[in-house]
Each structure stands twice: as C-alpha cells, then as structure tokens.
C-alpha cells in the first residue's frame, strides 16, 4: 500500500452561472485538467439525482486518471444563490490500488469530514479569505492521513477473526486445491471493490493494464481443505473484448456482477453470459453465480430481488446480493463458490 494514501484534494463550488468551480486544491500545483474533471463529475452526480445531497461519504472512480475519490457534499444557506442554497464538495483523490482502506473504514472517516464541512461552510458564509479555507483543508488532510495510518497499523496487529479465515503465508505451498474464478460485469459495478473486500490485501494485486485483467488470490479453508482461489477481474471495456476469451479459459466458475442501482448493468448480464458461452470451448458446465452489488443502497435501488432471481434462474446462475461497501455476504458468497467447485470435481457434469 502506498506510503501516502492521499493523492490530492479538490474543493469544488457549484456556481449557478459558471458551473463547477474548483476553488481550492492541494497540492497547489495540481493540474487544471484534474481539477476540472473532479468538479464536473461531482456536480454531474448531483444533477443526475435531482440535486439530492447525500449525508454520507461516497466513493466514485475517475478511470481516465486512474484515481478514485472519496467525496463529502456540503449544503449551506446562501441568499445570493438560486433557491437560497449553495452546494459544494470536498474530494480526496487516492490511487485505485489503495481503495480497500477507504472502502473498509469509510465509517471512521465521517466525523472528520463532517466537522471540516461544517467549518468550511461557515467560513464561506463569512466570505473568509482564501488562506483560511485552504488551511482547514490542510488540517483535514492531516487528520485523515493520521487516522488511516492508525487504522492500517491496528489492522496489521490483529489476528484474523473472519468466519472463513485466510491461511498463513507459511502454509501457502500446502494448498490442496487451486480454483480459477472469472469475475465479469460492466465497468463501475464494483467487481474490483468486491474482490478487494474479499481478499483484504490490496497491496499484493497484480494489475496488467494493457491486458485488461487484474489477478488476485486468497488462501482459506473450505471444510477440511486448503483452497487457493485465484480471481481474474476481467475488464468490462469493449476495447478488451478480443482478449477476454483467453482470460476465460481454465475457469471452473464465473461470477457475473451487476449494480442494483444501475438497470443498464443488469440488462448487460445476458450479454456477458452469451460472451462466456461463445468463448469457452470446454464441454464441462461452468458453475455460475450472479452477484447483485450495492444492496446497502436501499433508497437508490432499481432492481428488485424478484427480477434478479428470475434472471438467475433463466441463466442457470445462483443469485446472491452483496455489498462491497459493507462486506455483506461477500465472504459467504466466495466460500460457497469454492465449495461448489470442490463438489463438482467429485462428480462429472457434462451437457
């Protein structure tokens, strides 16, 4: 994991006339294209949700610059603005490879972000000098950085208390079974976040950006067996379509992931399933699972449990709802996949 988890900070004001305006940023030499990208994307989220300001922190990707951002939206009274309301956002940018620490401990970050948002809102209402607001952003940066360092240190000292604990590194060569699992779905549905939530080991990921695949692995026990699950996180972008057929080969199971808040990603599942059928030449029936991610986002949910189950039954998949954000059902789901693969090895399964 990177020594400094925070890449940069952008404070964006949403101006009625000029639109997103990145007023304050750290470092001060942050390129304009990054500042404007952050500003435009953060305001686009609000406009797409009818101006609703989320109370909690959210994390969004910025794929073009290979960064992600954790965002705190701010709303304050301002009689000079339309509707007497001013809106702004604090965005902390960080590297994609470091995202597990932010996803896992996002609840811990709420308090310092909320306090900073309150203070900055008051400063803006008072038309405080630029330096005062910038100083508050630096203070928030220091607080978040110190908190993340403590959390990372605390985690490294803890012993595993997970229901399906990992095997220690001393036992790595003793894995009795290796299972290749292909994880597919549209960009942005949470494939990588789900894998990271399961492996909890972001710094050891092997990312091959020019190939469109990220490979992670985890050792754990399934009943009395030591399993090494090798997860192939397959890029959803169309430019990697020709390469995907090679990544599918050798998989004993596949996970198709969609976003419960995104109907388009749900509609794409049939295309992904057809792509798998077209490109996997092995006669053996592959074990398939359908993950509905973001089940924690109850108000934003667009896909019902009934519709997801109907699709899963149609495609002969096993459906599980998960949350990469909270971890709900993630370990359980991958455990069940490994268990199903082991059972399939004991009996022939052909068309």
Q: What is the pLDDT, as a whole number, of residue 246?
A: 73
How many helices (H) and strands (E) would you count in the chain? 10, 12
Closest CA to 337 of 273, 294, 301, 287: 287
Residue 162 located in a structural domain: no
DSSP 122: H
**Strand duo 213-222 + 206-208: pairing:** antiparallel
Q: What share of the chain is helix, strand, coil (3-state, %, to 5)?
A: 45, 25, 30
Residue 267 and residue 180 share a domain:
yes
Residue 204 and residue 91 share a domain:
no
Q: Which of 105, 123, 157 is the last residue of a domain?
A: 157
What does the buried/exposed string (b/e) look like for 97-133 if buried means 16 or more CB atoms within 10 Å of the residue's CB? bbbbbbbbbbeebeebbeebbebbbeebeeeeeeeeb
Q: How many C-beta atoms surround the C-beta of residue 296 within 10 A? A: 16
Residue with tokens 């964006």: 12
Residue 37 located in a structural domain: yes
pLDDT over 60 at 308, yes or no? yes
Q: What is the pLDDT, as a whole number, of residue 346?
A: 66
23 close to 11: Cβ distance less than 8 angstroms: yes
Q: Which of 107, 134, 157 is the last residue of a domain?
A: 157
Domain count, the chain: 2
Distance (Å, whole) CA 287 – CA 293: 19
Residue 103 located in a structural domain: yes
Mean pLDDT of the residues in the chain: 80
Percent of the chain with pLDDT over 70: 79
Residue 321 and residue 195 share a domain:
yes
Residue 67 located in a structural domain: yes
Residue 127 and residue 57 share a domain:
yes
List, for residues 111-131, the tens digit of each pLDDT value: 899 899 999 988 988 889 999
Sign of the CA dihedral with 77 first, then 81, 87, and 90 last: negative
Q: What is the pLDDT, as a whole number, of residue 211?
A: 44
* Cβ partners under 8 Å of residue 227, min gap 6: 175, 176, 177, 178, 179, 219, 220, 221, 338, 342
List, for residues 54-89, the tens digit of each pLDDT value: 677 888 888 889 888 899 988 888 777 777 778 889
> In the Cβ-directed half-sphere of 250, how many Cα atoms lie within 13 Å?
10
Closest CA to 38 of 78, 7, 16, 17: 7
Q: Among 31-35, 172-176, 194-198, which is the least confidently predicted range?
A: 172-176
Q: Residue 36 belongs to what domain range?
A: 8-157
Q: What is the pLDDT, as a whole number, of residue 140?
A: 94
Q: Which of 157, 188, 218 is the last residue of a domain?
A: 157
Residue 280 and residue 132 share a domain:
no
Residue ranges of alpha helices (H) inside the chain are: 32-48, 99-104, 106-125, 130-157, 191-199, 241-248, 263-267, 269-279, 305-314, 330-345
Q: What is the pLDDT, as a whole number, of residue 307?
A: 96
List, for residues 313-332, the tens digit of each pLDDT value: 999 999 999 988 778 888 89
Residue 256 and residue 142 share a domain:
no
Counting other chains too, the contacts that 154-162 makes at CB distance below 8 Å and 24 or more residues apart are: 162/331
pLDDT over 70 at 209, yes or no? no
pLDDT over 60 at 41, yes or no? yes
């Amino acid at each position: 994991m990177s020594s400094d988890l925070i890449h940069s900070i952008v404070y964006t004001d949403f101006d009625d006339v000029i639109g997103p305006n990145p007023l304050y940023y750290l470092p001060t030499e942050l390129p304009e294209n990054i500042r404007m990208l952050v500003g435009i994307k953060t305001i686009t989220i609000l406009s797409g949700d009818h101006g609703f300001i989320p109370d909690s922190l959210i994390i969004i990707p910025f794929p073009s610059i290979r960064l992600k951002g954790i965002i705190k939206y701010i709303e304050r009274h301002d009689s000079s603005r339309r509707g007497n309301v001013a809106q702004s956002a604090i965005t902390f940018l960080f590297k994609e490879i470091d995202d597990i620490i932010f996803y896992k401990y996002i609840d811990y970050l709420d308090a310092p972000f909320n306090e900073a948002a309150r203070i900055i809102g008051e400063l803006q209402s008072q038309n405080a000098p630029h330096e005062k607001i910038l100083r508050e952003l630096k203070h928030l940066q220091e607080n978040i950085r110190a908190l993340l360092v403590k959390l990372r240190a605390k985690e490294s000292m803890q012993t595993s208390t997970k229901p399906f604990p990992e095997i220690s590194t001393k036992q790595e060569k003793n894995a009795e079974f290796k299972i290749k699992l292909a994880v597919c779905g549209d960009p942005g549905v949470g494939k990588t976040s789900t894998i990271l939530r399961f492996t909890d080991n972001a710094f050891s990921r092997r990312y091959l950006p020019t190939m469109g695949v990220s490979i992670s692995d985890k050792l754990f026990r399934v009943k009395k067996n030591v399993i090494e699950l090798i997860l192939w996180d397959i890029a959803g972008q169309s430019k990697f379509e020709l390469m995907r057929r090679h990544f599918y080969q050798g998989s004993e199971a596949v996970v198709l992931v969609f976003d419960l808040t995104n109907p388009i990603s749900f509609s794409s599942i049939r295309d992904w399933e057809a792509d798998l059928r077209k490109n996997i030449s092995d006669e053996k029936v592959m074990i398939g699972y359908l993950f509905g991610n973001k089940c924690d986002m109850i108000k934003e949910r667009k896909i019902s449990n009934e519709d997801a189950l109907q699709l899963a039954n149609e495609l002969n998949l096993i459906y599980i709802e998960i949350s990469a954000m909270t971890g709900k059902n993630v370990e359980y789901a991958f455990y069940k996949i490994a268990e199903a693969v082991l059972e399939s090895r004991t009996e022939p399964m052909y068309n």
